[in-house]
Structures are given as structure tokens and as C-alpha cells.
């Protein structure tokens, strides 16, 4: 019988770290406490909640954020991929300022939307984007893609995967799939659950569906909120094949993952979506979403001839459209390659630390190892073996790195993984390094090699400080 997570080493250490955090951030604490009078829990964006309270920031510049308590942090979160350009990027700022000087809230079409649509289609056509429509978030993009699939096919069921996150009303953690009665705010579609990256169990799920009932398969090729977990190319090809065989639409959610390839992630692994959803960084840090795909599908949104409506007051807002045009110019082929290379080097350095201190098992790939997880409804998540004929099952390490290119995640496993994750978060904050509480670390263009070295040093200090507990 394992140790009670509430009284574990990590939980005890976390209490001490949080006590120090409270002492060092009195202004953030007061602002959070006072705002509870007007917002539930003092919060209007769930993901920013952290115990005992979140930091409140008052400014950002380049690669740094400054809190109301006067501390400056290296920002390794990049607004969850929306802040790919760092803080206060002058090119984007100038573009928005120039656009606003001509007015906004036209209540009509603008020239900026025409230019951005052309750029988006030309950029992501290889991943399936032949026509595009703009929204205000990734949530809206996936909502519209699902609605289109249901309408076009006349079917109701949507296949989704464990660990998937497709927006605030489309969240599918494993615990929810195992117990759908868990309170949630998901849209009331007929969702069908399958384990991520598990071809055999997914095949069983699909085989059990009534004929002609599946409208769409919705998948992230690299799960952002789910821990930067990448789908194997075989899994994506299998899903593409199943969609074709069943007459379902293949919806690929690249709201985050599109940043990993200049033409989108799907194109980089040789897969083409029927519908592709985008968001985050493409709006230059402004509110943005997009969905698009095959011309015959998107033609159903043509107001001259179609039955499908897609209104939205801010779909073509001047601020986002003007910022997005410049954003795609900045994040060109060279910038994509450079940022991915920095992320790859960072992952090597982080995994070198884990190998050095005996936290990774011996593997032929060494520090370049890429952990790909296979979920299961019948047992624990395991690591995909390098050779397909291997019958052995490898469990996740106590602490490990997932992701690829510029999207990385420090993660923990085991009964007390939540306490370890929070402890690492507070450890890095104490070193004035800001990241997501879940360990999500997407790089942005203002991050330098010296900043990366600071992060790696932070991980090594954490491992040395808690080495005995991490290896026991």
C-alpha cells in the first residue's frame, strides 16, 4: 500500500514552499482576496488558478513579466502559446496602432481580414486548409468544426481521446472518461471515448459503434493541455484511414501544435485534415481562432448558397486581423526552425540532468529519447517502445519530459504526482522563472539560450534538493 499523498514527502515540502510564497507575495494575495467579492474565487479564467493564490502581473517586456509585488520573472509560459512573440513586440504593436488610427468596430468587412485569410490558407494548405473562417478562440473553432461535421454527415457521434483539450467546453481528461458523471461544462454532443495513441483499443471502440453513426474524429496531434503528449505517426495515419472508411470527417486540432511546423503539424507528419482548427499565436497575441478545410465542406458556410451560419461580432476585428498579418510574417520558416531547435536543445539538456541523477532508465537514445505515451482503459499509461515487435511495457518515470520542438512539459507520475508538480512549480517561481502550474513550458521568440540555461539550472537544483525522495 502506497503512502498517503496528503502526508507524503512532496506534500510536506509543498507546504513549506507555499508558506514562503505567501510571505513573498502579499500584494498578489490581497488583490486575489479582495477580488473574490466580485468574481467567484477571484477568478475569470480557470487555468490561471493556483493554490494558495496566483501571482498578479502589472507589466511585461521581452522575455520577462513583473508582478505587483515588484519581482521580475523569466516568462517560460508565453501565454500558453498565444504569446509566441514575447511581450510588447514592437512590430505587432506598430501594426495594431496603425490599424486603430483608421478606426475600429466598422460593423462591416475590412481589408485586413482579406489579407490574413490569404496568408493563413497559403501557410496551412498542406495540412488541409483550403478555405478558412475566423473565430475568437480555439474553443469557438472546434465548436464550429464539430457543428459542421454533425450537419454535413447527418450523424451525431464524435470520437475524442483521453487527455484531449479542445477548448473550455471540450475537455476530456482520463478521469472524466472513466467517470463521465464528474461535473463538467462540456457541450452536449454524443462523444465517444477512446485511449490516446492506442490503436488496438480504439479499433475496438470504433468496431462497437452502430453503422453510419460517427460524424467526426477529433484529435490533437500533440496534446497541449494534456501534457505535450504527441500522437505517433502510425496513430494519426490510422485515424485518417478510419475516417475515410467510415465516411466521418477527420478534424485535427492544431490550436497549439501548428506552431511546430511552418505549414502546420499535420503536414510535417504527412497527414491531411478534412477540417483544421487553429488559434493562439496566429493572432499575434490577440484573441484569435480559425477553422477551415476542404473547399466542399467550407462551401457550406458560403452565405450566398449555404445552410450553415457562422456569425460573430468580433470574427474579423481590426486588432486581431492587423496583428495576425504581421505575426505570420515574423514567425516564418526560419523562425519556426530556430525556435524548434532551441526547444530540442533544451529538452536534451533537461533529460541529461535526469540521466545524470539516475532518474531515467538506460535507453539507446540517451538524452535524445522521445517519450511517446500509450493510454489504456484496461491498465496504466505506458511508454511506446522503439521497436514495434517489443512486448515489454515500460512505466512512466517519476519525473520526465514530454513534447517536441518548442513545446515541452516537465511532468511527474505516481500517487503523489500532483504534489510533486506543484512543488516544482513553486521551486521555479522562487528562482523567478514563470511557467504553467502543470509544467507546460512553450518557448517564445524572446527567450534566449541563456534563459534556457537558467531553466535547466533550476531543474537540476530541484533534482539535487529532492533526489532521495525522487529515487526512492
DSSP-derived 3-state class of residue 301: helix
Q: Which residues of 161-177 are buried (b: 16+ CB within 10 A; e: fewer)?
A: bbbbbbbbebbbebebb
**Distance separating alpha carbons of residues 5 and 8, to the nearest angstrom:** 5
- Which helix (H) or strand (E) is 321 found in, with range? helix 318-330
Angle at 462 between CA 461 and CA 463, to 5 degrees: 90
Task: State mean pLDDT over 59-76.
Answer: 98
Residue 390 has pLDDT above 60, yes or no: no
Q: Which one is predicted more confidently, 5 or 346?
A: 346
Helix (H, G, I), strand (E, B) or coil at 219: strand
Q: For residue range 276-292, list pLDDT tens digits in order.
A: 999 999 999 999 999 99
Is residue 331 within 8 Å of residue 397, measured between CB atoms? no
Cα 260 versus chain centre, distance: 12
CA distances from 415 to 10, 11, 68 (A): 11, 11, 35
Query: pLDDT by residue (tens digit) across 164-218?
Result: 999 999 999 999 999 888 889 999 999 999 999 999 999 999 999 999 999 999 9
Which residues pair with residue 164 across a beta bridge?
172
Using CA atoms, how far apart are residues 461 and 455, in angstroms rounded to an integer? 10
pLDDT tens sequence across 302-360: 999 988 999 999 999 999 999 999 999 999 999 999 999 999 999 999 999 999 999 99
- pLDDT tens-digit profile of 398-428? 999 999 999 999 999 999 999 999 999 999 9
- What pLDDT is stored for residue 330 in this prediction? 98
Q: For residue 364, what pLDDT is reported?
A: 86
* C-alpha to C-alpha distances, 374 to 203, 246, 369, nearest whole angstrom: 14, 24, 16
Would you state the pLDDT for residue 362? 82
User: CA dihedral in degrees (161, 166, 169, 172; nearest 10)?
Assistant: 20
Judge contact between 75 and 66, C-beta under 8 A: no
* Residue 387 confidence (pLDDT): 58
Find the farthest-apart pair of alpha carbons in the chain and give their distance in angstroms, rounded.
67
pLDDT for 392: 59
Q: Collapse the DSSP code of 61 into the 3-class scheme (helix H, G, I; strand E, B; otherwise coil) and give the result.
A: strand
Contact at 8 Å (CB) between 441 and 408? Answer: yes
Report the candidate in 408, 455, 406, 452 with the shortest Cα–Cα distance to residue 429: 455
The tens digit of pLDDT for each residue in 103-149 reads 999 999 999 999 999 999 999 999 999 999 999 999 999 999 999 99
Which cell goes with 119? Answer: 496568408
**Which pLDDT value is given to residue 307?**
80
User: Which pLDDT belongs to residue 315?
Assistant: 97
**pLDDT band at residue 3 under the 50/70/90 scheme:** low
The grid coordinates listed for 375 are 493510454
Predicted pLDDT of residue 6: 64
Compute CA 388 distance to the chain's CA centroid, rounded to the nearest angstrom.
Answer: 28
Q: What is the pLDDT of residue 326?
A: 98
Distances (CA, A) of 386 to 196, 393, 400, 407: 17, 11, 17, 22
Residue 1 pLDDT? 47
Burial of residue 207 (CB within 10 Å: 0-12, 13-18, 19+) is exposed
Q: Is the pTM of this model over 0.85?
A: yes
Mean pLDDT for the stretch of residues 67-71? 98
Amino acid at each position: 500500500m502506497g503512502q498517503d499523498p496528503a502526508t507524503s514527502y512532496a506534500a510536506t515540502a509543498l507546504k513549506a514552499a507555499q508558506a514562503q510564497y505567501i510571505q513573498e507575495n502579499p500584494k498578489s494575495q490581497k488583490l486575489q482576496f479582495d477580488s473574490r467579492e466580485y468574481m467567484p474565487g477571484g477568478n475569470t479564467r480557470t487555468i490561471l488558478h493556483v493554490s494558495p493564490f496566483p501571482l498578479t502581473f502589472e507589466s511585461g517586456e521581452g522575455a520577462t513579466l513583473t508582478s505587483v509585488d515588484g519581482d521580475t520573472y523569466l516568462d517560460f509560459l508565453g501565454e500558453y502559446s498565444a504569446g509566441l512573440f514575447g511581450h510588447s513586440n514592437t512590430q505587432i504593436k506598430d501594426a495594431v496602432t496603425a490599424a486603430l488610427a483608421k478606426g475600429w468596430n466598422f460593423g462591416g468587412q475590412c481589408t485586413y481580414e482579406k489579407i490574413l485569410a490569404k496568408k493563413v490558407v497559403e501557410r496551412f494548405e498542406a495540412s488541409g486548409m483550403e478555405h478558412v473562417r475566423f473565430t475568437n478562440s480555439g474553443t469557438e473553432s472546434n465548436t464550429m468544426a464539430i457543428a459542421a461535421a454533425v450537419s454535413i454527415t447527418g450523424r451525431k457521434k464524435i470520437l475524442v481521446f483521453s487527455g484531449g483539450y479542445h477548448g473550455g467546453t471540450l475537455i476530456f481528461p482520463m478521469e472524466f472518461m472513466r467517470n463521465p458523471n464528474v461535473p463538467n461544462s462540456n457541450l452536449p454532443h454524443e462523444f465517444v471515448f477512446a485511449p490516446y495513441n492506442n490503436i488496438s483499443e480504439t479499433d475496438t471502440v470504433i468496431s462497437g459503434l452502430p453503422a453510419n453513426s460517427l460524424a467526426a474524429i477529433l484529435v490533437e496531434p500533440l496534446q497541449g493541455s494534456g501534457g505535450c503528449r504527441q500522437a505517433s505517426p502510425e496513430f494519426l495515419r490510422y485515424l485518417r484511414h478510419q475516417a475515410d472508411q467510415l465516411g466521418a470527417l477527420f478534424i485535427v486540432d492544431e490550436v497549439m501544435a501548428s506552431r511546430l511546423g511552418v505549414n502546420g503539424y499535420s503536414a510535417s507528419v504527412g497527414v491531411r485534415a478534412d477540417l483544421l482548427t487553429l488559434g493562439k499565436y496566429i493572432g499575434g497575441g490577440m484573441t484569435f481562432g480559425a477553422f477551415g478545410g476542404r473547399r466542399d465542406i467550407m462551401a457550406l458556410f458560403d452565405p450566398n448558397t449555404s445552410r450553415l451560419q457562422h456569425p460573430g461580432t468580433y470574427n474579423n476585428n481590426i486588432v486581431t486581423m492587423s496583428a495576425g498579418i504581421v505575426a505570420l510574417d515574423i514567425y516564418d520558416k526560419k523562425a519556426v526552425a530556430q525556435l524548434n531547435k532551441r526547444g530540442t536543445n533544451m529538452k536534451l539538456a533537461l533529460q541529461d540532468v535526469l540521466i545524470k541523477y539516475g532518474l531515467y532508465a538506460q535507453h539507446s537514445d540517451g538524452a535524445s529519447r522521445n517519450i511517446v505515451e500509450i493510454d489504456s482503459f484496461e491498465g496504466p499509461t505506458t511508454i511506446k517502445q522503439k521497436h514495434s515487435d517489443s512486448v515489454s511495457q515500460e512505466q512512466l518515470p517519476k519525473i520526465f519530459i514530454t513534447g517536441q520542438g518548442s513545446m515541452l512539459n516537465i511532468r511527474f507520475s505516481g500517487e503523489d504526482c500532483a504534489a510533486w508538480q506543484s512543488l516544482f512549480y513553486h521551486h521555479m517561481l522562487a528562482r523567478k522563472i514563470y511557467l504553467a502550474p502543470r509544467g507546460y513550458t512553450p518557448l517564445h521568440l524572446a527567450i534566449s539560450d541563456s534563459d534556457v540555461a537558467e531553466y535547466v539550472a533550476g531543474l537540476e537544483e530541484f533534482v539535487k534538493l529532492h533526489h532521495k525522495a525522487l529515487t526512492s
